[in-house]
Amino acid sequence: MRANLLHRFPPRDWLMLSVLGTSVVCLVNGLGTAVRGAAISAFLPVGLLAALFGWGLGDRRMNGGLAAIGLVSLGGVLLWVETARLGGPLLGLVVSILSYGFGVLAYWQGGPPPNPAEMIEFLQAIAEQSAGLWARLMLWMTSLARNVVMEDVVARVLAWSLAVWLVCAWAGWWLRRGQALRALAPGLVVLAAVTNYTQMEIDSFWLFVVILLALMGLGHFFAQLEGWNERHVDYAEIVVSNTLGWLGLLLVILAMLTWVGPLVQVREFLENLRTKPQDSAAPEVLGLQQAPQDEPSIFYGRVSLPRSHLIGASPSFSQQVVFRVRTGESRAMPYDSLAVNAPNYHWRSQTLDQYNGYGWYSSQVTRKEVSPGETFFSTLPNGYRRLEQVFMLLDDNDLLLHWSGVLYRVDVPVGAFWRRMPKPAWEASALPLNGGDLLGVEHNAKSYRVESYLPTPSVEELRAAGRNYPDEIRACCLSLPDHVPERVFRLARHLTATAPTPFDQALAIETYLRTNFEYTLEVPAPPANSEVADYFLFELRRGYCDYFATAMVVLARAAGIPARLVTGFASGVYDVQTGEYVVRQADAHSWVEVYFVGIGWVEFEPTANQERLEWLPAPEHGSDTGSVPLVRPTVWERLEQFFRVVPPLARGVILVFAGVFLVLMVLLVLEDWVLKHVSPTLALHWMFQHLYQVARQWIKPTPSTTAGEFCQALVPYVHDRQTLVVLTDLYLRSLFSPEPISGAVVRGCISSWRALRWQLLLKNIWQRVGLPDKNQVSR
């Protein structure tokens, strides 16, 4: 067995496969480092699998064009299934098809008609998820063609994964054929281009160069050995070890020279290449991130979880009233027993945009004194509603101004901390509210009146918002620290892969956090050197508002959605008698804002113990159906829903295949009925003549060929030889025996004959394509 294994896989192949795997690791390591929102884990399985397929199909007997079509098609299908999360629906579809097939067989034998509803349900799920991913991919490709910067991590990783598949499959194919330079040249070009643009010190690039040199040397040496063996030239065994040793030493020297000693002309050439056109959006769309420049870090506030100081506080402190606020939307009632549906608000104090993996802080701010009644922005936005609030403070230590929505003006003097000052009214800005970005506001008053504006977008408007985020938003609210683990990015891609719009993606993340994690204040502090979001998502899986909000912001940014964290207080308790919200220390809260193009910042509530925002659709599993009976859609309604989400071209292809399938099923049912109701002799003639027609490709019968000779010639091509012998014997008896053949015997052979015919048909098709038949029965 060991000798057979060494014969099939000689040491040379094992060595080449090891070097090929190392080159794939170098390639995906470089791309995982340079592509924003990606990780090595996203590319490594793709690259290794493609290299193995390329190596396996690199046999010189395989047609190159056919192998290329097969590799490209296989890579596209596998990546699409993985990205669109079609594994579960496809498995369910296969099971439902098998169940439906058994139902059809039972129906032929007098059972109840099969129900295709489950099969259609899985088809609809596959179509919806594929349509969502297709819409995102088309929008991303359109932005790339139009030179518009658009963030879509899923589409970007899918495009890079397909490139990795093609490059690694190419490498495996040509390396199997002994062409090292041709095999690794595309990967070297990709790594060189990425390294050149990002200006990162990607060590795997130089290791890739060393591997290329090693493969070229090994390929030449192995070719020499094969030539000596073919010409029966004697050589000392020490030649092999000496040659490999000198080759290794030479590679080390060359690698050191290329690493530390590039020529001045090469440096100048690379600098000239780096003077790329500044108006090209392709690198940004593809997610190539340049190496960060060494700049002084200027930030506001200490790095921490905003509400961590409240954990473990005494009950008396938690019940301490911080402020009372009146909005004037509901009048005071004399009876506190009346039920009033008061609106749910967030009273904000600070917005934090910088996250370092351990806590939150703000980027550089500028303080500006604001007079009473002075407006914070000059252009009132569309789609916002006005809200007036009167705050009465009861906590002397609280110096931060509170409000809900977007602050417009306040009736006391305050100090505003701006990350980005609002532009004058006459100066155009791509951002709403004159482009201002406010961290927070300080004051010294005991009470104040605030006028603010709350965004009131519809779900349709949020879904219609694009992805061409302004540079200011991309710079501050898409960045993540380098030490965020790869599994966080993988989870973000998994949650948002089939959601077609940024709103649906943010909603998917919010729903995931609200339904899969427990809210509690009894949690330990994150371990030292642990990234907070990763610790919460994969280890702790419970926590308070800071954990929920941090996890949503990190997942949203990992998915290419600008998001930031907001601190303040939850709505509190509404006092019916005074018409005020009573807010205590226990209501301290953190939540999330997501940026939508043309709308601005919109709040999301990922914390499980808080009410969902009023404008968001309630999750299906949380809806209260009461006593209303659940009405399931009919089969035709499911079909209509399925075809509504399928693109026209795919719809036509599906209809053609469905039509062919239905016609084939009708013909098979008709054939089955005819064979069971005609005379046994006629049925046997029909079945044997069909075998004769199908097997003519391998057997060239003459007019003198008998049925027995035909059977003997066909035996090596089938697995079920017993069925073939029985059918031939029955056929000969129907021709020459005076005794009639029983109809029950013939009907019992129909299913075996049908399986035999399908086997020969598939074998016929397989050989017409030109591929070797691995299931060929030995003669």
- 493-542: pLDDT as tens digits: 889 988 889 999 999 999 999 999 999 988 888 887 889 999 999 999 99
Report how far residue 287's alpha carbon sits from residue 115's, in angstroms, rounded to the nearest whole number. 47
Residue 24 Ramachandran class (φ > 0 left, ψ -120 to 50 alpha, else beta): alpha
Whether residue 478 is found in the same domain as residue 587: yes
Whether residue 186 is found in the same domain as residue 149: yes
Residue 457: inside a domain, yes or no?
A: yes
Domain, as residue range, for 524: 299-332+343-614
- 38-63: pLDDT as tens digits: 667 778 888 899 999 988 888 766 77
Whether residue 305 is found in the same domain as residue 270: no
β-sheet bridge partners, residue 440:
350, 417
Look at residue 432 and tell me whether its pLDDT is greater than 70. Answer: yes
Whether residue 242 is found in the same domain as residue 350: no
pLDDT band at 234 (very low <50, low <70, confident <90, very high): low
Residue pair 534/484 in contact by the 8 Å Cβ criterion? yes
How many other C-beta atoms can be found within 10 angstroms of the C-beta atom of residue 314?
A: 8
CA-derived radius of gyration, the chain = 35
- How far is the first Cα of the chain from the last one, in angstroms, to the nearest whole number? 24
> For the chain, what is the domain count?
3
The length of the chain is 779
How would DSSP label each residue in 399-459? Answer: -B--BSSEEEEESS-EEEEEEEPPPPTTS--SSSGGG-EEEEEE---SEEEEEEEEE---H
- 272-307: pLDDT as tens digits: 544 444 555 555 655 555 554 444 344 444 455 766
What residues have CB less than 8 Å from 66, skipping those under 6 apart?
A: 769, 770, 771
Indicate the average pLDDT of the chain. Answer: 77
Residue 337: inside a domain, yes or no?
A: no
What residues have CB less than 8 Å from 424, skipping those under 6 apart?
A: 378, 434
Residue 761: inside a domain, yes or no?
A: yes
Output the pLDDT for position 147. 75
Residue pair 499/48 in contact by the 8 Å Cβ criterion? no
Whether residue 170 is found in the same domain as residue 238: yes
Instruction: Find tokens 């505003």 and name the residue.
Output: 416
Taking residues 572-577, report their average pLDDT. 88
Structure tokens at 372: 């009473």
Residue pair 778/717 in contact by the 8 Å Cβ criterion? no
> In this prediction, what percent of the chain has a pLDDT beyond 70?
72
CA atoms within 13 A on the CB side of 565: 30
Residue 465: inside a domain, yes or no?
A: yes
pLDDT band at 683 (very low <50, low <70, confident <90, very high): confident
Strands 414-420 and 406-410: unpaired
Whether residue 367 is found in the same domain as residue 452: yes
Residue 637: inside a domain, yes or no?
A: no
Whether residue 199 is found in the same domain as residue 68: yes
In this prediction the pTM is: 0.66
Whether residue 606 is found in the same domain as residue 678: no
pLDDT band at 407 (very low <50, low <70, confident <90, very high): very high
Domain boundary among 614, 639, 672: 614
Output the pLDDT for position 618. 42
Buried b / exposed e across 167-176, counting CB within 10 Å, b at 16+? bbbbbbbbbb
Whether residue 496 is found in the same domain as residue 383: yes
Structure tokens at 308: 């961590």
Residue 285: inside a domain, yes or no?
A: no
Taking residues 683-701, report their average pLDDT. 73
Output the pLDDT for position 127. 87
Residue pair 499/374 in contact by the 8 Å Cβ criterion? no
Residue 426: inside a domain, yes or no?
A: yes
Whether residue 607 is found in the same domain as residue 671: no
- 733-744: pLDDT as tens digits: 777 777 777 777
Taking residues 449-455, report their average pLDDT. 93
Whether residue 259 is found in the same domain as residue 375: no
Report how far residue 173's alpha carbon sits from residue 68's, in angstroms, rounded to the nearest whole number. 9
Whether residue 402 is found in the same domain as residue 537: yes
- 147-201: pLDDT as tens digits: 776 777 888 888 888 999 999 999 888 888 878 888 888 888 887 787 777 766 5
Residue 2: inside a domain, yes or no?
A: no
Instruction: Find tokens 């917005």 and name the residue.
Output: 351
Structure tokens at 320: 């301490």
Is residue 62 helix, strand or coil? coil
